[in-house]
Amino acid sequence: MSTNSTTAQSGSAKKSATATRKKAREEGKSTTKATGAARTKRSQAVAKRAASRRSPKEQKSLSDLLEHALKDIYYAEKKIYRALPKMIRKADHPDLKEALQHHREETAGQIDTLESVFEVMGKRARGEKCEAIDGILEEGESLLEDFGDSVAADAAIIFSCQAVEHYEITRYGSIRAFADALGLDEVRDHIDSILEQEKAADQKLNDLAESSVNDAAAEYDDEDDSAAA
């Protein structure tokens, strides 16, 4: 049998298997959680795929989605790192300035961690333009222009930063789940460390907003109402 014939049969078998799986999803059939041995086999398959040249026409898989997501968040973290200094300068409350500066330092470490993840996967670290984070950061820039010199500046900064944090938390949560399903335990553990930092940063912003920032901004509205009366 010729190599071309074998390749064609293999491709046909993969398409058939994919069709069968998709039909099962459409029918709402559940998939049994993978065993340890199955996860190990998956991780080995991912490593093999990473080391081989693949045709652009080849069926996309969860490992491809994981790689796409990593490029997406790598791009996002670099954009966030560059955007934070302006927010730090505009912030009034010293605790907010400190929290943003601390998280910028964490972001630098997260970029390094993501580069380690790419290395573990046998891939070159590179970003892929993400319109979602671009849009969130552009909105944050617009809010700074509108509120940056007002009494609501800190509230606006937290409002913008939490939009970023929630985006990152959802992205990292999905990336972690993909890595876990593929048996990429080292990747999963790296992402876990970043995810915990993002959750802590979001909670810190929430605490600042609820403990003082929002009330401080609201006092101006009280004064405005008094003057009107």
Positive or negative torsion for Cα 17, 19, 22, 26: negative
CA-to-CA distance for 37 and 40, rounded, in angstroms? 5
Q: Indicate the pLDDT class of residue 31, thresholds 50, 70 and 90.
A: low
Domain segments of the chain: what residues? 62-217
What's the distance, CA 184 to chain centroid? 17
Query: Is 118 in contact with 70 (CB distance < 8 Å)?
Result: yes
59-67 average pLDDT score: 92
* Range of 14-23, 30-39, 72-81 with top mean pLDDT: 72-81
Q: What's the pLDDT at 151?
A: 92
Looking at every residue in the chain, the average pLDDT score rounds to 86
- Whether the per-residue pLDDT at 57 is higher than 70: the answer is no
DSSP 158-219: HHHHHHHHHHHHHHHHHHHHHHHHTT-HHHHHHHHHHHHHHHHHHHHHHHHIIIIIHHHHHH
Distances (CA, A) of 94 to 56, 87, 137, 203: 51, 12, 22, 17
Q: What is the DSSP code (8-state) at residue 126?
A: -
- Whether the per-residue pLDDT at 82 is higher than 50: the answer is yes
The tokens describing 202, both together, are: 């979001």
Q: Indicate the pLDDT class of residue 35, thresholds 50, 70 and 90.
A: confident
pTM for the whole structure: 0.80
CA-to-CA distance for 74 and 204, rounded, in angstroms? 23
Q: Which CATH number fits domain 62-217: 1.10.260.40, 1.10.10.10, 1.20.1260.10, 3.40.50.300?
A: 1.20.1260.10
Q: What's the pLDDT at 220?
A: 76
175-188 average pLDDT score: 96
Q: Which of these, 141, 123, 153, 26, lies nearest to 79 by C-alpha position?
A: 141
Give, to the nearest 10 degrees, the angle between helix 185-208 and helix 153-181: 160
Helix (H) or strand (E) holding 52: none
